[in-house]
Amino acid sequence: MGAYTTLFAGLSKEITEANQGSYIIPWGRVQEINPRKDIYEVIEKGKGKELWEWCEKQIKANRDTTNKLVVCMQLENIEDCIAMIA
């Protein structure tokens, strides 16, 4: 009986796009009222896109630094390496 809710969530034909984002509660029931209305309010305000753009910026900055370090490790001269990173 412990896996019933998980199996219901993964295999039931009752779970469709219409109830996307809903919680599946014991024992194989879809919670009709979504208790996390705050999430939908933030999505409607465009905060998700803002977060995505911020994450992309952080990843790009880290990726550029990592690429420089990889190239730097292949150089034989430490001064060239320091100049490249600075």
Q: pLDDT tens for residues 30-57?
A: 887 766 778 778 878 888 888 889 888 8
Place of tokens 């014991």: 26
CA distance 32 to 64: 46
β-pairing, 29-30 vs 24-25, is: antiparallel
Angle between helices 47-74 and 37-44 (to 10 degrees): 80
Entry pTM: 0.38
Domain extents for the chain? 1-35, 36-85
pLDDT value at position 60? 82
